[in-house]
């Protein structure tokens, strides 16, 4: 391999370039990214960055890293087409770049529900640094925000808004918070946590319309309720950026479909990170995960393969989310759990929930219990279980099981 092109300058793309050099790859590496900013981390955008806007901690690598490692960064440029026959990508300005291997790390974009009034410029969203800068600029003048979506990002922002005494109404279409990723007892704990912070939660309802009259904006919900708001933040989930792959004839099904080596149907093209759907060894099914762990570990797996050490991807999934004073950490995927064991006291704000399928531990959710989380990660990654009686006893030392 001489020429590697990476489309997407996010977590996965930058990690791949870095890992390739780390492993001694000496061919050319080009990253094409359509965002103008030096590649940055997204997690702080809904956390530290909104507390005091400071770009300093955001970049994934210092500016000097790229030239020092002979990595060509083409920022502000978009790949619009893949010419698979000639192994070239075509950029927006019709320039062509040749590849021996192409990696798609195109990430995802926010899903904007098709609701009248949500296509207005005053609507806020949070995926990019540009979005976060705009939100920050607006914060000072806001007294009420409507958050659409009760997932990680909507709830992280709601927590920060409440800390600034900004009123929040949060609208969630299902009956629970973070229902796609959390067990019901943990989701219920977060419901009362956010209610105590003063966020008004609306479940099983949709924003039906947004009506503007001069300086006033009114949000109307499908359950008949309505209220005045200063601004609306859409945090209703994301969609993989898979159009480039689909248009090139690659298989797409909730993301760009790859095999266990993270290769698409074309042996010269891989995909990774938020945009890729891959066979997950822990669930046995296809998964598309939206996390830094997934982006970074997949990038390292591809770097290893491209430098001669092909190995199926078996990265162990873990996540985190900071909401108000609650630091949520999740080890493993909870899909299909049929039993839960509580460890610690939820009233104390520091506890974990161990999730089982039969007698087998499959995931652990922790709030302000970093030690439980770290132990769970080590045990689960090694495919080890924890007897339920041990999990239930906070005095029992999990370390001894390792």
Chain residues in the site for ligand FAD (CB under 6 A): 7-13, 32-35, 42-43, 45-46, 78-79, 105-108, 126-127, 153, 241, 244, 273-274, 290-293, 295, 319-321
Q: Rounded to the nearest 5°, which phi and psi values hold at 243?
A: -65, -40
What minimum distance in Å lies between the beta carbon of 378 and ligand FAD? Answer: 18
Of 153 and 362, nearer to ligand FAD (C-beta) is 153
Nearer residue to ligand FAD within complex by CB, 117 or 317? 317
Q: Which is nearer to ligand FAD, 135 or 386 (CB)?
A: 135
User: What b-and-e string marks burial along 202-223, b requiring 16 or more CB atoms within 10 Å of the CB?
Assistant: beeebbbebeeeeeebebbbee
- Give the H or E element holding residue 172: none
Q: Which of 107, 105, 85 is nearest to 4 (CA)?
A: 105
Rounded to whole angstroms, the maximal C-alpha distance in the chain is: 65
The nearer residue to ligand FAD, 90 or 261, going by C-beta atoms, is: 90
Pick the closer one to ligand FAD by CB: 108 or 142: 108
Closest contact distance (angstroms) between CB of 288 and ligand FAD is 10
Q: Please, what is the minimum distance in Å from the beta carbon of residue 209 to ligand FAD?
A: 26
HSE-CB at 270 with a 13 A cutoff on CA atoms is: 27
Q: How many CB atoms lie within 10 A of CB 371?
A: 11
For residues 58 and 79, which CB has a smaller minimum distance to ligand FAD in the complex?
Answer: 79
User: Minimum distance from CB of 78 to ligand FAD (Å)?
Assistant: 4
d(CA 96, CA 266): 19
Nearest approach, Cβ of 208 to ligand FAD (angstroms)?
26
User: Least distance in Å: CB of 215 to ligand FAD?
Assistant: 28
Q: Which is nearer to ligand FAD, 45 or 375 (CB)?
A: 45
Comparison of 229 and 241: residue with beta carbon closer to ligand FAD: 241
Exposed, middle or buried: residue 88 (CB in 10 Å: 0-12, 13-18, 19+)?
Answer: middle
* Nearest distance in Å: CB 132, ligand FAD: 7
Beta-carbon count within 10 A of 63 CB: 10
Exposure on the CB side of residue 227, measured as CA atoms within 13 A: 19
Tell me the residue ranges of DSSP E strands in 12-94. Answer: 28-33, 71-75, 79-83, 88-91
Return the percent helix, strand and coil in the chain, to nearest 5.
30, 30, 40
Based on CB atoms, which residue is closest to ligand FAD, 106 or 199?
106
The two three-digit tokens of residue 197, written as one number: 């912070």
Q: Give the nearest distance from C-beta 152 to ligand FAD in angstroms.
A: 6
CB of 14 to ligand FAD, least distance (A): 8
Please count the CA atoms within 13 angstroms of the CA of 67 that sit on its side-chain side.
2
Nearest-CA neighbor of 207 among 124, 118, 143, 109? Answer: 118
Q: Considering the complex, what minimum distance in angstroms separates the CB of residue 127 from ligand FAD?
A: 5
Question: Would you say 276 and 286 are in contact if contact means Cβ atoms under 8 Å apart?
Answer: no
The secondary structure of residue 219, as a DSSP letter, is: E
User: In degrees rounded to 5, what are phi and psi of residue 161?
Assistant: -65, -40
Nearer to ligand FAD, 203 or 320 (CB): 320
């Amino acid at each position: 391999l001489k020429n590697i092109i990476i489309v997407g300058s996010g977590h996965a793309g930058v990690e791949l370039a870095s890992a390739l050099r780390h492993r001694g790859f000496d061919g050319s590496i080009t990253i094409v990214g359509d965002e103008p900013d030096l590649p940055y981390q997204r997690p702080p955008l809904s956390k530290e960055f909104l507390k005091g806007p400071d770009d300093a901690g955001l970049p994934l690598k210092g500016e000097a890293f790229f030239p020092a490692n002979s990595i060509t960064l083409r920022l502000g440029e978009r790949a619009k087409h893949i010419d698979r026959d000639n192994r070239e990508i075509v950029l927006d300005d019709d320039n062509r770049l040749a590849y021996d291997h192409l990696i798609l790390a195109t990430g995802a974009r926010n899903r904007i529900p098709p609701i009248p009034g949500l296509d207005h410029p005053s609507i806020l969203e949070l995926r990019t640094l540009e979005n976060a800068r705009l939100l920050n600029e607006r914060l000072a003048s806001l007294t009420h925000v409507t958050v659409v979506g009760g997932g990680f990002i909507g709830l992280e922002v709601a927590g920060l808004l409440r800390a600034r005494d900004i009123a929040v109404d949060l609208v969630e279409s299902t009956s629970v918070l973070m229902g796609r990723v959390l067990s019901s007892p943990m989701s219920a704990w977060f419901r009362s946590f956010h209610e105590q912070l003063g966020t008004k939660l609306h479940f099983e309802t949709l924003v039906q319309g947004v009506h503007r009259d001069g300086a006033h904006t009114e949000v109307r919900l499908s359950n008949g309720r309505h209220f005045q708001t200063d601004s609306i933040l859409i945090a209703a989930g994301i969609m993989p950026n898979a159009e480039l792959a689909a248009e090139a004839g690659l298989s797409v099904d909730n993301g760009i479909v790859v095999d266990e080596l993270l290769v698409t149907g074309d042996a010269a093209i891989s995909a990774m990170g938020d945009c890729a759907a891959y066979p997950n060894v822990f669930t046995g099914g296809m998964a598309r995960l939206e996390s830094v762990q997934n982006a970074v570990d997949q990038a390292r797996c591809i770097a290893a393969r491209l430098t001669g050490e092909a190995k199926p991807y078996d990265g162990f999934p873990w996540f985190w989310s900071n909401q108000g004073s609650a630091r949520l950490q999740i080890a493993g995927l909870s899909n299909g759990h049929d039993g839960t064991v509580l460890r610690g006291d939820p009233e104390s704000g520091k506890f974990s929930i161990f999730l089982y399928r039969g007698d087998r531990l499959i995931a652990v959710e922790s709030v302000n219990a970093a030690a439980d989380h770290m132990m769970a990660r080590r045990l689960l990654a090694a495919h080890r279980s924890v007897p339920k009686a041990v999990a239930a006893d906070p005095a029992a030392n999990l370390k001894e099981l390792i």
